[in-house]
């Protein structure tokens, strides 16, 4: 069998880029991967000199690759990289992920801190789901806000100036579709991939893989021998996101560039949002207040996670 040769050299190709059919060897695949991440960092001005960077590491492919990339980039951009993990308390799943996260942090000899839902909110996710009752929403609707808050609080506690997460291009495109299908495209309009929001209790979250596909990340992990947790969360089957993933996966067979097109549309919306600014007719819904429960910035009286805690407490009272 004849293997294709790399477009840039005489080495055997390990991958053909689906959108332009370019064949790449291991060395040039790694180069193009890093170049793309660097371009994303430059485009959205994700980092500043001497940032203290908290990398959210779950032990899955995205976060394990992210840590590898952030450590490599440290040589170019003076900064400090620290790994943080969140133990949601998902029986038979998270403990395994945490092993991979620890392994990844140990590989580079960097500090690694684990925080848990139980310490932060008084409940494991599994317990919280029971307390929320049988007519609760899908697990991710609770886990998502808890996770965001736990990561933000963890980053703040360790003195981080940026919180980095492994959301990839597929995740970002799915989020835009989810907002659209929930009738909440304003969320996309007013969100900002650039770390500009300022609040004393908020650590700006940045996503260097916004333009990197899931396929590239899996390949990078496998070709560079980075072990990661392969099992999916047992609650993922309940997630709305799964439907968006299926739609996109099916469509990407015909057009592998569709995720980039969705992200371009989302960038155009952010740009529009910044032009509309405070004159938006919807600004009444978006006044930034401070949560009565925890003081975090939010749109209503309570932030997402304090609303969930209130719901759990009222269920406990009524039983």
Work out the angle at residue 312's Cα, subtended by the Cα atoms of residues 311 and 314, and round it to the nearest 5 degrees: 65
| Residue 113 β-bridge partners | 84
291 binds, among ligand SF4, Zn ion, none (CB under 5 to 8 A by kind): Zn ion
- CA–CA separation, 30 and 153 (whole Å): 33
* Least gap, CB of 92 to ligand SF4 (angstroms): 12
Interface with ligand SF4 includes 236 (CB under 6 A)?
yes
* Least gap, CB of 43 to ligand SF4 (angstroms): 27
144 binds, among Zn ion, ligand SF4, none (CB under 5 to 8 A by kind): ligand SF4
**Residue 2 three-state SS:** coil
Q: What is the DSSP letter of 145?
A: H
Cβ–Cβ under 8 Å, residues 188 and 266: yes
- CA–CA separation, 281 and 279 (whole Å): 6
Element (H, E) at 241: helix 241-252
Phi, psi dihedral angles at 83 (to 5 degrees) = -95, 135
Residues 137-166 that bind ligand SF4 (CB under 6 A): 139-140, 143-144
Contacts with Zn ion, residue ranges (CB under 5 A): 291, 293-294, 296, 303, 306
Cβ–Cβ under 8 Å, residues 201 and 297: yes
Structure tokens at 97: 């992920």
**Residue 82 three-state SS:** strand
177 binds, among ligand SF4, Zn ion, none (CB under 5 to 8 A by kind): none
173 binds, among ligand SF4, Zn ion, none (CB under 5 to 8 A by kind): none
Among residues 73 and 312, whose Cβ is nearest to Zn ion?
312
- Which residue from 14, 46, 53, 239 is in contact with ligand SF4, where contact means CB under 6 A? 239
Structure tokens at 241: 């996101």
* Least gap, CB of 296 to Zn ion (angstroms): 5
Among residues 177 and 303, whose Cβ is nearest to Zn ion?
303
Among residues 140 and 258, whose Cβ is nearest to ligand SF4?
140
Interface with ligand SF4 includes 245 (CB under 6 A)?
no
Structure tokens at 89: 């308390």
- Which residue from 149, 207, 235, 270 is in contact with ligand SF4, where contact means CB under 6 A? 235
Residues 85-104 that bind ligand SF4 (CB under 6 A): 88
Footprint of ligand SF4 (CB under 6 A) = 88, 139-140, 143-144, 233, 235-236, 239
């Amino acid at each position: 069998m004849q293997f294709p040769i790399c477009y840039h050299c005489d080495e055997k190709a390990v991958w053909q880029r689906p959108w332009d059919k370019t064949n790449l060897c291991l060395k040039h695949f790694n180069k193009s991967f890093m170049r793309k991440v660097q371009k994303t960092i430059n485009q959205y001005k994700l980092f500043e000199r001497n940032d203290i960077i908290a990398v959210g590491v779950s032990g899955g492919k995205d976060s394990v690759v992210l840590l590898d990339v952030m450590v490599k980039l440290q040589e170019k951009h003076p900064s400090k990289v620290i790994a943080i993990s969140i133990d949601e308390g998902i029986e038979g799943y998270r403990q395994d992920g945490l092993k991979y996260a620890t392994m990844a942090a140990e590989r580079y000899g960097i500090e690694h801190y684990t925080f848990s839902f139980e310490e932060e909110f008084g409940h494991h996710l599994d317990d919280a789901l029971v307390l929320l009752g049988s007519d609760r929403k899908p697990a991710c609707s609770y886990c998502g806000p808890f996770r965001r808050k736990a990561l933000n609080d963890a980053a703040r506690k360790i003195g981080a100036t940026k919180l980095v997460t492994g959301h990839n291009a597929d995740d970002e495109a799915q989020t835009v579709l989810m907002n659209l299908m929930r009738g909440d495209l304003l969320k996309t309009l007013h969100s900002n991939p650039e770390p500009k929001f300022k609040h004393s209790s908020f650590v700006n979250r940045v996503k260097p893989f916004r333009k990197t596909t899931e396929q590239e990340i899996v390949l990078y992990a496998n070709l560079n021998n980075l072990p990661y947790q392969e099992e999916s969360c047992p609650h993922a089957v309940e997630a709305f996101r799964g439907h968006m993933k299926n739609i996109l996966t099916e469509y990407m067979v015909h057009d592998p560039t569709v995720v980039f097109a969705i992200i371009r549309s989302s960038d155009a919306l952010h740009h529009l949002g910044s032009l509309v600014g405070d004159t938006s007719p919807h600004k009444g819904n978006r006044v930034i207040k401070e949560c009565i429960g925890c003081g975090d910035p939010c749109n209503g009286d309570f932030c997402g996670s304090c609303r969930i805690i209130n719901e759990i407490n009222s269920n406990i009272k009524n039983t």
